[in-house]
Amino acid sequence: MLAPEWMKNAKFPFGCVLIANRGEVACRIARACKELELSPVAIYTSNDKDAPLLDLCDQNYFLEGETLHETYLNIDAIINAAKETGAQAIHPGFGFLSESAEFAQAVTESGLIWVGPSPDAIEIMGDKMSAREKMRSVGVPLVPGHEVISTEVKDIHQELITVGPKLGFPLLLKASAGGGGKGMRVVNRPGEMAGAIEAAQREAESAFGDGRIYVEKLLSGCKHIEIQILADGYGNIIHLGERECSLQRRHQKVIEECPSPALNERLRNQMGAAGIAAAAAVTYMGAGTVEFLLDGENFYFLEMNTRLQVEHPVTEYVTGIDIVHQQFRIAAGLNLGIAQKDVSMKGHSIESRIYAEDPSSGFLPSAGPLLRLKMPQGPGIRVDSGVIEGNSIDTNFDPMIAKIIVYGSDRKSAIMRMKHALKDTVLLGLQTNIEFLHALLCDEDVVKGETTTNLIENKWPKGWTPSIDIDTLALGAIACAISQNLGSANLDYSKNNNVFPDPFLKLNNKYP
């Protein structure tokens, strides 16, 4: 496959890209490929044979196997798929193998182009403990904490139990290989330590195959602010401003925005510079995100995500820079072509993550078929989704179904647009957090921009239940009766349900 015209001066031109991912991010990347005249290749499993991704890609490669390790996490099978389909580059997306140094290494060694940073950078930053050491060495401020060197379960217990009280409770246990809220445990009292260590280790072992954990002081009432970085490998490193991702439940982000209402120009420049320093410390290349906790005017390094980030669209809206396009440019060996002074932020963008979960039972995951799916449309509304009506959400994968991203000239108009977009979203067949997201955007602290990472937990410790007035229930009941009587289009979804068209339906069909 020939490289497109825009790559003609590139050091490492390529024309065909395998996307080592699934769902919404794979669709996002496939569309970027098409825009850039690159030919996208999808990998898929038997679960995903009806996924819309397959229509977006020029080639589809079937991965045999039942488990994730046999399919989306199978390095050999994916590289083999690239070889067989003639792909010259691999984009890992986020999640799965995107932060696997081993995968990056294997891709490079097999002569393919890796759309991402070097395996070394991934390894240092991917291991949260070595990342902390690196940041300490270049003077990036860290959350007070302690890294345990030993890998012996008994030693970890001993060391954390001794060190914990010195840092002061509450503490947060984190998986060294962690991310996405997995393998994290809050410890409020010394007595909870042993049980929490065990649970965090087990979760870390199950999610990452690496049970090492470390401890940080749990700072509460803070904001989660992250800096988007682009680096071209020729020494040009710029930042695209911040994203505020304070609204989280179970340490997973729910709503993100850009810019943050908490940052002024001076703080933005300081945090941007710290982000650039963090990236420079590992000779970073590509798109990456440096996450900080912001406590008043003080900020502390949390971790660096060496990949595309779920919430990247809010930065794209506000800066006008397509981050996936930049990833491909950098991978081809072209220089950035954007200087820091060219980056400006205009307007306001918000992202809502639609999760398959039940807010009323403490945001526990749900699953089920997407019997009806209608995503919102309109000016300033972007939907990143990897599913269509008729697909199912199952518990093997991440519970995120789709993202809605809006743009407005200011924060207030972005919130109004998002509230309407959420009300306009129809997703039936399983529990989701859509109504909760709407309620969150009506909360007075959220409206004021006074969000913290524990806002959701503090306001709704047991989860959130919608209040529905009785007239709405009555109208809902009537709608059920109407659909049943007049033969609503849903009935073909019901298996074992041999329904003939209702004869009364015909009475409505009067043509002029």
- Could you list the residues that contact other proteins (CB under 8 A)? 181-182, 199, 202-203, 206-207, 250, 358, 361-362, 364-369, 371-372, 374, 395, 397-399, 422-424, 426-429, 432, 434-435, 438, 466, 468, 470-491, 493-495, 504, 507-508, 510
Known catalytic residue: 307? Answer: yes
Q: Is residue 106 within 8 Å of 75, Cβ to Cβ?
A: yes
Which entry of 307, 353, 411, 417 is annotated as an active-site residue?
307
Of 110 and 360, nearer to other proteins (C-beta) is 360
Q: In whole angstroms, what is the distance from residue 30 CA to residue 221 CA?
A: 39
Q: Which residues pair with 368 in a beta bridge?
A: 393
Of 339 and 507, nearer to other proteins (C-beta) is 507
- Shortest CB 483 distance to other proteins, Å: 4
What are phi and psi for residue 61, nearest 5 degrees? -115, 120
- Shortest CB 182 distance to other proteins, Å: 6
Q: Is residue 230 within 8 Å of 323, Cβ to Cβ?
A: yes
- Shortest CB 298 distance to other proteins, Å: 31
295-300-305-309 Cα dihedral, nearest 10 degrees: 20
* Token digits of residue 455: 């806002």
What are phi and psi for residue 230, nearest 5 degrees? -125, 130
What are phi and psi for residue 338, nearest 5 degrees? -130, 130
Could you tell me which of 79, 75, 116, 80 has the C-alpha nearest to residue 99? Answer: 116
**Where are the strands (E) in 206-284, listed by range?**
213-217, 223-232, 237-249, 252-258
R_g (Cα) of the chain, nearest Å: 24
Of 69 and 83, nearer to other proteins (C-beta) is 69
* Token digits of residue 274: 């710290």
Of 15 and 180, nearer to other proteins (C-beta) is 180
Of 273 and 479, nearer to other proteins (C-beta) is 479
- Shortest CB 180 distance to other proteins, Å: 8
Number of H helices, E strands in the chain: 17, 23
Q: Which residues pair with 17 in a beta bridge?
A: 40, 89
- Shortest CB 416 distance to other proteins, Å: 14
Q: In whole angstroms, what is the distance from residue 476 CA to residue 461 CA?
A: 29
Of 396 and 409, nearer to other proteins (C-beta) is 396
- Shortest CB 95 distance to other proteins, Å: 10
Catalytic residue numbers read: 307
